[in-house]
Amino acid sequence: MTKHLSIILPCLNEAESLKTLIPTLRENYADAEIIVVNDGSKDESASVATQAGAQVINHPYSMGNGAAIKSGARAASGEILIFMDADGQHTPQDIDKLLTEMAQGYDMVVGARSANSQASFGRLCANGFYNWLSSWMVGRKIKDLTSGFRAVKAKKFKEFLYLLPNGFSYPTTITMAFCRTGYSVTYVGIVAKKRLGKSHIQWRDGVRFLLIIFKIGTLYAPLKLFGSLSLGFFSLGMSHYIYTFLTAGRFTNMSLLLFVTATLIFLIGLVSEQITQLWYTRH
């Protein structure tokens, strides 16, 4: 399988980690294609990767983790793509776990981090919320929405390159897109080590993750999202009507406004669902 394997490492100032990571990958997966996407690093990442025998793609400036992923995927020739961080968090030997599951016929296998692998308690809580919300949106259990360690069939991954953002939310997008499209996704447990150097993820990336969840949800299942919002406004309207009827014996303008809002949101969801069906059928 390694003859058809491409290992893609998005990299931003990870020279120290690459000194040990690439030789380890070479030792364990000698026939695999190793691609390091140098996303505008200011250190010696590109030269370290080149000397270690990896194929290097250079971005003239930092375009983002997602942009590096897309560059690596376009250049890869393998039938199976392995994405892993270049900062030393992911253990190369865990690639075998992903490939074992891929051999069972899955389209994508994601390395799900344990609770002890989260960078902080805040990150653990945020990821838990993202996992719950995205699972509800796609109707399938998502164990680790934001994990950057995964194996995927190249042909199917490349179908969604146009959807992937340039920032850190590419795992969110590709996971939800696969689930909503009906491609098979599974998870294997991994332990992520403490990264070397400083994390490039910032608080605003958390907001982007949340927006991506709603973006994919409205793209593939708009009625589920808008229908839930509509039901919420309808419930508020009914509650307000019951309260004002019991206390004042009348139907107020506020209740009417809430009912009309609920109806409009539902109709928007219904039209969006039809547009989505037309788009999906055409593609």
Q: What is the reported pLDDT for 214?
A: 74
Rg of the chain taking only CA atoms, in angstroms = 22
Domain stop point among 220, 252, 268 = 220
How many percent of the chain have pLDDT more than 90? 48
Closest CA to 104 of 31, 29, 190, 186: 186
Distance from C-alpha of 138 to C-alpha of 5, rounded to nearest angstrom: 29
Does 58 score more than 70 pLDDT? yes
Whether residue 141 is found in the same domain as residue 118 = yes
- The verdict on 216 and 248 lying in the same domain is no
Q: Looking at the structure, do residues 120 and 214 belong to the same domain, yes or no?
A: yes
Our measurement of the distance from residue 12's CA atom to the centroid of its chain's CA atoms, rounded to an integer in Å, reads 19
What's residue 205's pLDDT? 58
Which residues sit opposite 7 in a β-bridge?
34, 82
- pLDDT mean across residues, the chain: 85
Whether residues 163 and 47 share a domain: the answer is: yes
Q: How far apart are the first and last CA of the chain?
A: 30
Q: Which residues in 154-254 belong to E strands, given as ranges?
A: 185-190
Question: CATH code at 205?
Answer: 3.90.550.10
Q: Measured between alpha carbons, how far is 91 from 109 in angstroms, rounded to an integer?
A: 15
- Residues 138, 33: one domain? yes
In tens, the pLDDT along 95-121 reads 999 999 999 999 999 999 876 555 556
189 and 232: one domain? no
**Are both 261 and 158 inside the same structural domain?**
no
- For residue range 37-56, what is the model confidence (pLDDT) as tens digits? 999 999 899 999 999 999 99
Condensed to tens digits (0 to 9), the pLDDT of residues 206-231 reads 576 677 777 767 777 788 888 889 99
Q: How many domains does the chain have?
A: 2
Which of 202, 220, 238 represents a domain boundary (last residue)?
220
Domain residues for the domain of 165 are: 2-220
pLDDT bracket for residue 283 (50, 70, 90): low
Distance, in Å, from the CA atom of 208 to the CA atom of 165, rounded to the nearest integer, reads: 10
Q: Which of 176, 204, 220 is the last residue in one of the domains? A: 220
